[in-house]
Structure 1
Amino acid sequence: MFTKNMILLQLAESLFALVVLASTLVHVTSAQLHPTSLAEYVRLPSLREQAAIQDGWRDERLSRIPGLLNKYRIQAWLMSQREYAEDTLWWSVKGATEYAPHRRTVLLFHTNTSSLAGQPNPLRWVDNTGAVWPELRNILTSYNPRRIALNTDRDVAFGGGLHVGEYEALAEELGEDWMERTVNEPMLGIEHVATRVPGQLQYYRDLQETTWALIEEAFSERVITPGVTTTEDVEWWYREKMLLLNVTTWNHPRVSVITPESFPGWSGTQDVIREGDLLHVDFGITAMGLNTDVQHMAYVLRTSEGETDAPVGLKEGVRRANRMQDIVLERMRAGKTGNDVLKECLDQMKVEGIEGQIYSHPIGDWGHSAGAVIGFTNLPEYVPVLGELPILPNTYYSIELYAYSFVPERNETLRFRLEENAYWDELDERWKFVYGRQERLHLINATAAHPTQPALAFVVQP
């Protein structure tokens, strides 16, 4: 016998399906389906091979800097840093086997094709005697650049990495005449860090698959025993497992039990996981100078009651979040600002009757990388500075968001929080997910646990 809530839910599902279908007829969806098979842990090349690959990517990116300088009418780009006081850009220009700049490391990128022809670009000094300064002054005198970029931006990390002490040293050693030619242009650092290089995508896809494999194993009966395992246990399982896979992370995994009150923070919840719980994870891995950032959700089946699938209301919530992902990818275009995209998305969500929030960001060299952001959790409609930056072509983005959805089976409204990494496909001229996207909940079936494999689950000591 149908209840009133069941009838209303079916009507809502039908209406939502029609809206999505109509939108799909107008826009070819940028999203791809949930992978049909379980993800696998992908073995990366040896560390020695990885270093050679990464240095090739670095050289390709460095070769583009003179053109980038010309684009912004700048003739020289000067970076100065010391060990443990690195410029933010250092990590995107260094070699794979360099872990810090030694002593004082000074880099000078330039566009000179005459007096510096045949010399390295960048010119590089490693010095702790002061010998760098007369040599740098001689180079500048020879080249005579009109505009010299320094990374002094107060708002953008990728254009503001020059430490105060280094700035003061430059001002003293270069003198007033040269310092008057210095300019602040944060787009140099943003574009350098954000732009992908050929051959990188295949390895990034491998990292994404490994990220999915970690989630699929963590959100399974191999790791979780309802009534025993805690969310914190699962977080530390991720950390230990990543060590075995020879990858690391840029943020501690955050595992939560979703409730109407729970929302993104910088830590997960501290709950014992039980049947009927809706789980969430936010984490990413780091390898080969690349970072992933993914959020998935899982449901712990009530196997003691014979449950074999997640409630319909939870599935509906995932579908709504998927539709929001489509909306974001359809409206992201190079040249638009992050705030332009955000407004267009919010307007379309209103048309389709979807409530939620978007807080998407660039990813790549960093988990939160260089470029325009599309919303923040605390700035849901407009983001100063970073939201006014333009969307760049040929980049990676983390499509991060949540949809509100009422779950009749629980008589509560929950946030369905998803995140996947996407890239711009130049041939198809649209955004695509690097590996796929979550379209169905991971299901944890306690009755499927193998009795001879309890060591993979964490046990809470009394």
Structure 2
Amino acid sequence: MMHANRRALSAVFILVAAVALCLAGVVSAQAAPAFEQGRIIRSTPDVLPLRERPAVANRILNDRLENLLPGLMQETGIDLWLVLAREYAEDPVYFTLVPQPSHAARRTTMLIFDLKADGTVDRLSVNRYPLGEPYTAAWSGGDLDEQWQALARVIAEREPERIGINVSDGWAVADGLTHGLHQRLLGVLDKDLRERVVSAENLVIRWLETRTEGELAIYPQVVALARSVIGEAFSNQVITPGVTDTAAVEWFIAERFEELDLPIWFHPHVNRQREGGACTDEDAFCGGSGVILPGDVLHTDVGICYLGLCTDTQEMGYVLRAGESEVPAGLVEALATGNRWQDLLTDAFRSGRSGDEIFAAALSASRKAGIRASIYTHPIGMFGHAPGPGMGMWDNQGPVPVYGARILHPNTAYAIEGNIKQAVPEWDDQNVAIKLEQTAWFDGERVIYAAGRQTAWHVVR
């Protein structure tokens, strides 16, 4: 457990970090009202220059290592955690643990996290090139054989009962220890220590899925950036009906993020639905590509990562026909149904429930409400598709292997993702698919959208 003085230091850090982030433009006061409205975000919040981002990322890292990791090691029963990586074959968790800027492990990089009796964690490196803060070098400078012997010596001196390594059958992010490094590790440990080696799977998942107060202060800004670019894309700034096609909008989004130095973790996707097209209950998504015409319903799927946090956002747009001044009532009602489905899903979030249990409760509630919903909600955070409890998949509307069995913890984030299908009277009762996705977090009691959610249509005039 954390001591009172550590909790006090954490509170001071969070306050100082929040002030610093506000001054640096990471938390935009001007953008906050748009978050509260939960509608369309059009103006792009400020983005930190590349050179200023490492300082923010490293403040967050130091806080996580100091105040989050000790409790997670106690919770998961790991006395000593090893994260071993080689250049260009890095463990997925490696970059979440090292100071920025960092682009690769240097030769063979060895990180050791030793949980002490007083509840603190010693952070050690055994590297040819010392990492520096927040790590203490336990060894540096020799050749590879000496490095491995030094690692074995440090482990033996610490006498851990359970040595966690990153190997896992079910989770890619927790299976980052390569076969070669695994074999070399076992070869330098004596028999007694080899028998204490266990999977650190649960620790890796808890480390990656848990969001700190400092991260949650930043997340609204990150999500608002993604939503603002969608607002630009689904407007007459970008779309000329009858001329612009869906691929051009996809590339506008990708290039706009590149202008902002914001990496995308998948290429943006844009599609259209229109009156006269097929959208059956059996069709997982509905929609196609091509030139955008008046009367089209637009959809996009966008994901970026900024300051160590990723987003996943899907929103809907409509292209007005000649003589129309507003979105048809049937489409307005369909979007409202999509919002109602989101509410039913997030109402099912309960600490300790598994992803499968949340999915079943939400799907049952949707059916009782007469909503034809498909749910495929996933954890998000340091990765776009992050570890944690999953709730359905687009191609599996039932229990989900591995992800579905994980239970819900407070301070974890999710892409609230799925779709509903509803008949549109103005389209001769043809179905429209309302495909929505917004980044949110669960605080232990409720689900909070990081930067609001879409409750009104993007309109192209």
TM-score by length of 2: 0.83
Matching residue of 1:413:
431
**CA deviation vs aligned residue, 1:419-455 (integer Å, no higher than 9, x gap):** 11112346xx32111111111211100xxxxxxxxxx
**In structure 2, what is the Cα distance between the partners aligned to 1:202 and 1:47?**
20
Matching residue of 2:459:
443
Matching residue of 1:336:
353
Matching residue of 1:83:
87
Count of residue correspondences: 406
Letter in 2 for 1:125: N
**In structure 2, what is the Cα distance between the partners aligned to 1:140 and 1:189?**
20
Letter in 2 for 1:153: S
**In structure 2, what is the Cα distance between the partners aligned to 1:436 and 1:254?**
21
Contact 2:299-2:314 within 8 A present in 1 as well: yes
Partner of residue 73 from structure 2, selected from 63, 69, 74: 69
**In structure 2, what is the Cα distance between the partners aligned to 1:118 and 1:289?**
24
1:370 is the counterpart of 2:387:
yes
Q: Structure 2 matches for 1:112-191, cutoff 5 A?
A: 112-113=116-117, 120-126=122-128, 129-191=144-206
Contiguous gaps of at least 5 residues in structure 1: 1-31, 446-462
Matching residue of 1:241:
256
Secondary structure at the aligned position of 2:434 is classed as strand
**In structure 2, what is the Cα distance between the partners aligned to 1:33 and 1:46?**
26
1:298 is the counterpart of 2:317:
yes
Secondary structure at the aligned position of 1:130 is classed as helix
Contact 1:66-1:110 within 8 A present in 2 as well: no
1:224 is the counterpart of 2:239:
yes
Matching residue of 2:54:
51
**In structure 2, what is the Cα distance between the partners aligned to 1:188 and 1:420?**
27
1:36–1:409: structure 2 CA closer, same or farther, 3 Å change rule?
A: closer
**CA deviation vs aligned residue, 1:31-78 (integer Å, no higher than 9, x gap):** x87546743211123333321111011111112323222222221111
Partner of residue 192 from structure 1, selected from 207, 211, 219: 207
**Deviation of 1:257 (Å):** 0.9
1:321 is the counterpart of 2:360:
no
1:37–1:141: structure 2 CA closer, same or farther, 3 Å change rule?
A: closer
**In structure 2, what is the Cα distance between the partners aligned to 1:180 and 1:159?**
20
Secondary structure at the aligned position of 1:409 is classed as helix
**Deviation of 1:386 (Å):** 0.8
Q: Structure 2 matches for 1:23-34, cutoff 5 A?
A: 34=37
Secondary structure at the aligned position of 1:169 is classed as helix
TM-score by length of 1: 0.83
In the TM superposition, structure 1's runs of 4+ consecutive aligned residues that sit over 4 Å from their partners are 117-120, 261-265
1:390 is the counterpart of 2:392:
no
- Identical counterparts, % of pairs: 34
**CA deviation vs aligned residue, 1:221-269 (integer Å, no higher than 9, x gap):** 110011111100011111111122221211110000135166459xx94
**In structure 1, what is the Cα distance between the partners aligned to 2:39 and 2:385?**
29
Secondary structure at the aligned position of 1:438 is classed as coil
**Deviation of 1:279 (Å):** 0.7
Contact 1:295-1:417 within 8 A present in 2 as well: yes
Matching residue of 1:402:
419
**Deviation of 1:412 (Å):** 1.4
Secondary structure at the aligned position of 1:328 is classed as helix
Matching residue of 2:300:
281
Contiguous gaps of at least 5 residues in structure 2: 1-34, 129-141
Contact 2:412-2:443 within 8 A present in 1 as well: no
Matching residue of 1:455:
none
Secondary structure at the aligned position of 1:207 is classed as helix
Partner of residue 92 from structure 1, selected from 92, 96, 104: 96
Matching residue of 1:252:
267
Contact 1:331-1:344 within 8 A present in 2 as well: yes
**In structure 1, what is the Cα distance between the partners aligned to 2:79 and 2:440?**
34
Matching residue of 2:26:
none
Secondary structure at the aligned position of 1:393 is classed as coil
Letter in 1 for 2:127: W
Matching residue of 1:432:
448
**In structure 1, what is the Cα distance between the partners aligned to 2:353 and 2:333?**
31
**In structure 2, what is the Cα distance between the partners aligned to 1:162 and 1:227?**
52
Structure scoring higher RCO (CA < 8 A, sep ≥ 6) equals 1
**CA deviation vs aligned residue, 1:298-342 (integer Å, no higher than 9, x gap):** 111112xx0112222211211111111101111112211100101
**In structure 2, what is the Cα distance between the partners aligned to 1:440 and 1:405?**
17
Contact 1:75-1:147 within 8 A present in 2 as well: yes
Matching residue of 1:4:
none
1:85–1:34: structure 2 CA closer, same or farther, 3 Å change rule?
A: same
